[in-house]
Chains A and B, each alone.
Chain A
Amino acid sequence: MTIKEIYKTMSYGPAPESAAQANAFLDAHNRQFDLFINGEWQKPSSAAYFDTFNPSNKKALAKIAEANAQDVNAAVEAAQKALPDWVALGGHQRARYLYALARQVQKHSRLFAVLETMDNGKPIRETRDIDIPLVARHFYHHAGWAQLMATELRDYKEVGVIGQIIPWNFPLLMLAWKIAPALAMGNTVVLKPAEYTPLTALLFAEMCRNVGLPKGVVNIVTGDGKTGAALTQHEGVQKIAFTGSTEVGKIIRKTIAGSGKKLSLELGGKSPFIVFEDADLDSVVEGIVDAIWFNQGQVCCAGSRLLAQESIAEKLYSKIKTRMESLIVGNPLDKCIDMGAIVDKVQLKTIDELVKQGITEGNTIWQPSWACPTEGYFYPPTLFTDVSPASKIAHEEIFGPVLVAMSFRSHKEAVALANNTRYGLAASLWTENINLALDMAPQLKAGTVWINSTNLFDAASGFGGYRESGFGREGGKEGLYEYVKPKIEDSLMDTPIFPPIIDQPTAHNQQLVAIDRTTKMYIGGKQARPDNGYSNRIHNRVGKTIGEVSDGSRKDIRNAVEAAHASAWAGMTGHARAQVLYYIAENLAIRKAEFANRLVQMLNHTEGAACSEVEQAIERIYTYAAFADKYDGAAHSTVQRHVTLAMPEAIGVLGIVCPEESPLLGFVSTVMPALAMGNHVVVVPSESFPFSATDFYQILDTSDVPAGAVNIVTGKKEDLAFELAKHYNVDGLWYFGTKEGSQKVEALATDSMKRTWVNYGKCRDWSDDKQGSGELFLRQATQIKNIWIPYGA
């Protein structure tokens, strides 16, 4: 066009970023990449290569090595070999390497950005202004954590070799989220980039060489799902960190169940974007653009479900449509576009099919009048209105530029609709009323809540899911715990501690015939008989029958879970919960002798040992009463003019399967931290020695504990544990039992994606404060929600 014509039409025109340097990089490698193992480029043992494409023009960019199990093994061995020296190097030296990597990313930022855009199809604006700066920021931030590990995480150590599997939607950023914290905490890694988008990871491998990173600390193995499977199954890997689909996340979890491998999963989402009538609607529209048309909607935390208050819904839809009309889809290297290409034809097909289904289901579709380019994999921004929660597009993750909208009538309904999902990754809510915003944020089941904003990320803030969006956090101090383990784990034992049996139990040679005591269960604040009407006989350690206990079954678990959900406990303040816990301690102290006698009766040990266990139980209750109002969150230092609150929230309904040993102290040490943090618990006490727990409900009854906060179901421990593990309405499960039981609990918990904490058959010394109490228990009883609150009038 001539200048004169442009002067009249005032159109934008092309503004392409040059691909020359990125092409030169690919050419320098003859457009073929090997595996990065032990600091060297190594040919794949299969000699197989696959192509990676530019989705905006369907042209092959390079050939990528396909790693098989043998290559993965070589990479894991390299990482194992590198581990001791990397740990021994210490925090400061590791900080220097991470700092150097951050610098490398900055120095080559445009090359990374262009390469990422070519491989992935996302706009150069996003790689240049968002992805790559966040990558550098992540390495800087974690250089700092490496420096501070010795002082800030003094009770923790590295996990070992970490297997990391990352997705194609933020290839280099996800690499940074995985590698930076792992290296900072002294681990070595084997990382598998996504099959569609391996190039920036391979460029990063070069950066590792540039900074002289010790060989084997970072290994990069390319390939498809089989490569990933080989990595997850490898016995030399101590932890798997996975970001990707919920479907694959579940497969991984099931595969490694019981292996003792740590696991963090960042999975799918169908995040609500909630608009209240007093929101700044024009700003909301731009928020929607950044929520669902960012990276073509291929974002796990995309605000893909628009919930608009009825009073403004139509107005908002109309504004969104106007805005959609001016969006530009085009060459992702063009600096003047809003949306690039969908990553691959497979993904494009998925999107297309789901949209077609949405139409078939009778939802109202709207797309802008203009057409997408045809030479690559493009899809237009799409809006569905009047969507019913029952239709597939309302609950299935589309992972494309498709927004589904529905309206709500009341605040309560907004929360209900927002939480009407199996996912829980993020939520965005828009209102100018801070009272409303801060009332809503804690009610949303999501790991991140953005108030009047969306898709904000920072290395100092944790990111991760609730429910089937996975568990574990990335970023912030909370994210570090995924890459460390408590030092005390090394001193856990293979067998439980029981005190020695003494010949003559002192307890109660009663002359009279004792009144038969009926030990019931405790559900919803009431004593309850077992649903099946059976009881089990309980013997002491020398084989004498000492009583009978209800044989709880799955129906009792069902009742207990229902009662737990109905409890008012979580709504109480930390101070109020502390008061109740102190009261419990007080009442236990009054009945100290009775509880000590019970221990002697069951365990046939000395009165001294029994008294000491009761004393310790009282002290431990004090500990968690003290913590109830002190396990604070943090105000993270993220981006300008934002408060980012990291709030520890209770897991919800938590199943606790107590250890066999220390029947009183084991019960108290697990139940009290869970209660202190506001969980409602369903407890399965020691199967062999249940009476300390069943006696305890009389204490609960007299200590102002709200009904349903603690529910006790006695019976066959493993069966009850597995029932809890399967139960979809149980949010978390702690299991202190056998190795086999641990494996089964983890496997059964897979589908509901509940948080589990199992002991893999290792035993704690509950009388040791380091093993039997502390911050670890509180962390397991909570999950962090990050709430982003921007401000400014």
Chain B
Amino acid sequence: MRNKRTELTINHLERNDGVPFDASWFENSQINRSAIERRTSSLGGRRTVKKEYQAAWLLKAISCIDLTTLAGDDTRGNVIRLCAKAQSPVRHDLLEAMDMTDEPIQVGAVCVYHNLISFAKEALEGSNIPIAAVSTGFPAGKISLEDKITEIKKSVAAGATEIDIVISRDLVIESKWQELYDEVALCRKACGEAHMKTILATGEISTLTKVAKASMVSMMAGSDFIKTSTGKESVNATLPVSLVMIRMIRDYYERTGLKVGYKPAGGIQKAKQALDWLILMKEELGNDWLNPELFRFGASSLLGDIERQLEHFVTGAYSAGYRHPMA
């Protein structure tokens, strides 16, 4: 059903082109943190997947990973390796044991800095794995809007089909919602055909209510995805923040009929965490959001833990990291 993913994106999923700014869609939003935390902390006890269900869900998690490297010492070499891992993230014998060899298990995208796009493009030639580039003065976003637009355009020109932008946090802190809308809308325009993921940097937004408002404004301005964090803030993706953001996605969908994707990023390192997020998505938004068109993990080390869990499922013995090819 999800084999030809890129086609699906183009043919079946109506892209969010945004709607005119309307403060009434969010100005009365109220988020109750305690209730949000109660929901996320009890969800793990209410829903779980075991055995073959867990294996299938973990494979799904892999397909939703934006396999990421965003380090100062990134080179062509490690980006090439990352792209190889992206195309065959799971050992073939494990896929065989699970009878999954005819499902092209690969990650959702590869995510790099702008000046590494070309190497990724080279390495992913012939695959349908999208290249995502972080942009707009990532991670702090403290460059002029003009420079942000230029940076996006350069990345798209270099071959990125997904652009992860960061918003100006000061606009959220100062509740300048119209300005935020204008900025994100301009970025979206600059993206053109490339899909835009809007990073709110929720670790730097002090209240969940503001997270909700920033989410709605970002969607109104045409974001294809909204994303928690850069991975560089001290607090990254958390389940409570995710719950708030995806409930706003639901609200936006109910108002417009448009499905916006969600990407938690930063700090998601364990297979168990990945399952928690998938369960959250399924419970709050439904199965449509359980595929890479509408859901991504921004993660670098998550894949390794999932591989170990899959081997445990296949062999019954706990696995070791060295048994799986590194990125």
Interface residues of A (CB under 8 A from B): 1-4, 6-15, 125, 128-129, 278-280, 282-284, 286-287, 290, 326, 335-336, 338, 432, 452-453, 641-642, 790-793
Select the residue from B56, B209, B282 with max chain A CB neighbours within 10 A. B56
Q: How far is the CA of A338 from the CA of B47 in the complex (A)?
A: 9
Select the residue from A9, A287, A326, A336 with max chain B CB neighbours within 10 A. A336
Given contacts A3-B99, A15-B48, A283-B32, 15 further A-B pairs with CB under 8 A are A1-B52, A2-B99, A6-B52, A7-B59, A9-B287, A10-B60, A12-B53, A15-B49, A125-B45, A280-B35, A283-B31, A283-B36, A335-B48, A790-B35, A792-B33
**Residues in B neighbouring A13, C-beta threshold 8 A:** 49-53
Q: How far is the CA of A286 from the CA of B66 in the complex (A)?
A: 31
Of chain B, the residue at the smallest CB distance from A641 is B34
**Residues in A neighbouring B22, C-beta threshold 8 A:** none
Q: How far is the CA of A280 from the CA of B39 in the complex (A)?
A: 13
Closest 5 CB pairs of A and B: A790-B34, A283-B35, A792-B33, A6-B56, A13-B53
Contact between A452 and B34, CB atoms less than 8 A apart: yes
Assess A4 versus B103: contact at CB under 8 Å? Given A13-B49, A129-B42: yes
Contact between A7 and B35, CB atoms less than 8 A apart: no
**Residues in A neighbouring B35, C-beta threshold 8 A:** 280, 283-284, 286-287, 452-453, 790
Of chain B, the residue at the smallest CB distance from A11 is B53
Q: How far is the CA of A336 from the CA of B47 in the complex (A)?
A: 4
**Residues in B neighbouring A7, C-beta threshold 8 A:** 56, 59-60, 100, 103
Assess A3 versus B1: contact at CB under 8 Å? Given A283-B35, A793-B33: no
A312 to chain B, nearest CB (A): 10
**Residues in B neighbouring A642, C-beta threshold 8 A:** 34
Q: What number of B residues sit within 8 Å (CB to CB) of A? A: 43
Assess A4 versus B34: contact at CB under 8 Å? Given A12-B53, A129-B42, A336-B47: no
**Residues in B neighbouring A280, C-beta threshold 8 A:** 30-32, 35-36
Q: How far is the CA of A792 from the CA of B36 in the complex (A)?
A: 10
Assess A792 versus B247: contact at CB under 8 Å? Given A4-B99, A336-B47: no
Q: How far is the CA of A279 from the CA of B209 in the complex (A)?
A: 12
B288 to chain A, nearest CB (A): 10
Contact with A along B94-105 (1 / 0, CB 8 A): 000011100100
B283 to chain A, nearest CB (A): 7
**Residues in A neighbouring B57, C-beta threshold 8 A:** 6, 10
B38 partner, pick from A11, A278, A453, beta carbons under 8 A? A453
23 contacts between A and B (CB under 8 A): A1-B52, A3-B59, A4-B99, A7-B60, A8-B2, A10-B57, A10-B278, A12-B48, A13-B50, A13-B51, A15-B48, A15-B50, A280-B30, A280-B32, A283-B39, A335-B48, A432-B32, A452-B32, A452-B34, A453-B35, A792-B32, A792-B33, A793-B209
Select the residue from A2, A6, A14, A282 with max chain B CB neighbours within 10 A. A282
Of chain B, the residue at the smallest CB distance from A2 is B99
Contact between B52 and A10, CB atoms less than 8 A apart: no
Contact between A4 and B50, CB atoms less than 8 A apart: no
Contact with A along B1-15 (1 / 0, CB 8 A): 110000000000000
Assess A3 versus B34: contact at CB under 8 Å? Given A8-B2, A129-B45: no
Of chain B, the residue at the smallest CB distance from A14 is B50
Q: Is B46 an interface residue (CB 8 A)?
A: yes
Of chain B, the residue at the smallest CB distance from A281 is B30
Contact between B48 and A336, CB atoms less than 8 A apart: yes
Contact with A along B199-210 (1 / 0, CB 8 A): 000000011110
Q: Is B122 an interface residue (CB 8 A)?
A: no
**Residues in A neighbouring B36, C-beta threshold 8 A:** 280, 283
**Residues in B neighbouring A282, C-beta threshold 8 A:** 247, 250
In the complex, which residues 185-226 of chain B have their Cβ closer than 8 Å to any Cβ of chain A? 206-209
**Residues in B neighbouring A279, C-beta threshold 8 A:** 30, 32
**Residues in A neighbouring B132, C-beta threshold 8 A:** none
Q: How far is the CA of A336 from the CA of B53 in the complex (A)?
A: 12
A18 to chain B, nearest CB (A): 12
In the complex, which residues 87-134 of chain B have their Cβ closer than 8 Å to any Cβ of chain A? 98-100, 103
**Residues in A neighbouring B30, C-beta threshold 8 A:** 278-280, 432
Contact between A278 and B46, CB atoms less than 8 A apart: no
Q: Is B290 an interface residue (CB 8 A)?
A: yes
Select the residue from A280, A452, A790 with max chain B CB neighbours within 10 A. A280
**Residues in B neighbouring A290, C-beta threshold 8 A:** 38
Q: Is B147 an interface residue (CB 8 A)?
A: no
Contact between A326 and B31, CB atoms less than 8 A apart: no
Contact between B32 and A3, CB atoms less than 8 A apart: no
A322 to chain B, nearest CB (A): 9
Q: Is B55 an interface residue (CB 8 A)?
A: yes
A2 to chain B, nearest CB (A): 6
Q: How far is the CA of A57 from the CA of B99 in the complex (A)?
A: 35
Q: Is B28 an interface residue (CB 8 A)?
A: yes
**Residues in B neighbouring A125, C-beta threshold 8 A:** 45-46
B259 to chain A, nearest CB (A): 16
**Residues in A neighbouring B45, C-beta threshold 8 A:** 125, 128-129, 335
A792 partner, pick from B37, B51, B98, B287, beta carbons under 8 A? B37
A353 to chain B, nearest CB (A): 30
Q: How far is the CA of A1 from the CA of B98 in the complex (A)?
A: 12
In the complex, which residues 11-32 of chain B have their Cβ closer than 8 Å to any Cβ of chain A? 28, 30-32
Q: How far is the CA of A9 from the CA of B49 in the complex (A)?
A: 13
**Residues in B neighbouring A283, C-beta threshold 8 A:** 31-32, 35-36, 39
**Residues in A neighbouring B99, C-beta threshold 8 A:** 2-4
A650 to chain B, nearest CB (A): 30
Assess A453 versus B34: contact at CB under 8 Å? Given A7-B59, A793-B209: yes
B227 to chain A, nearest CB (A): 21
**Residues in B neighbouring A10, C-beta threshold 8 A:** 56-57, 60, 278, 282, 287, 290
Select the residue from B32, B46, B48, B250 with max chain A CB neighbours within 10 A. B32
**Residues in A neighbouring B50, C-beta threshold 8 A:** 13-15
Q: How far is the CA of A338 from the CA of B30 in the complex (A)?
A: 27
B86 to chain A, nearest CB (A): 19
Of chain A, the residue at the smallest CB distance from B283 is A326
Q: How far is the CA of A659 from the CA of B32 in the complex (A)?
A: 53
B37 to chain A, nearest CB (A): 7
Of chain A, the residue at the smallest CB distance from B284 is A282
Contact between A793 and B206, CB atoms less than 8 A apart: yes
Of chain B, the residue at the smallest CB distance from A789 is B34
Of chain B, the residue at the smallest CB distance from A456 is B38
B52 to chain A, nearest CB (A): 5
**Residues in A neighbouring B206, C-beta threshold 8 A:** 793
Q: How far is the CA of A411 from the CA of B92 in the complex (A)?
A: 64
Contact between A791 and B34, CB atoms less than 8 A apart: yes
Contact between B247 and A3, CB atoms less than 8 A apart: no
**Residues in B neighbouring A9, C-beta threshold 8 A:** 287
Contact between A792 and B34, CB atoms less than 8 A apart: yes
Q: How far is the CA of A234 from the CA of B55 in the complex (A)?
A: 60
In the complex, which residues 266-323 of chain B have their Cβ closer than 8 Å to any Cβ of chain A? 278, 282-283, 287, 290
B248 to chain A, nearest CB (A): 10
Contact between A3 and B37, CB atoms less than 8 A apart: no
A63 to chain B, nearest CB (A): 33
Of chain B, the residue at the smallest CB distance from A431 is B30
**Residues in B neighbouring A2, C-beta threshold 8 A:** 52, 99
**Residues in B neighbouring A287, C-beta threshold 8 A:** 35
Q: How far is the CA of A793 from the CA of B59 in the complex (A)?
A: 36
Q: How far is the CA of A714 from the CA of B26 in the complex (A)?
A: 64
B241 to chain A, nearest CB (A): 13
**Residues in B neighbouring A278, C-beta threshold 8 A:** 28, 30
**Residues in B neighbouring A793, C-beta threshold 8 A:** 33, 206-209
Q: How far is the CA of A125 from the CA of B45 in the complex (A)?
A: 6
**Residues in B neighbouring A128, C-beta threshold 8 A:** 45
**Residues in B neighbouring A12, C-beta threshold 8 A:** 47-49, 53
Select the residue from B34, B37, B290 with max chain A CB neighbours within 10 A. B34
Q: How far is the CA of A7 from the CA of B101 in the complex (A)?
A: 13
Of chain B, the residue at the smallest CB distance from A16 is B50
B308 to chain A, nearest CB (A): 17
B165 to chain A, nearest CB (A): 26
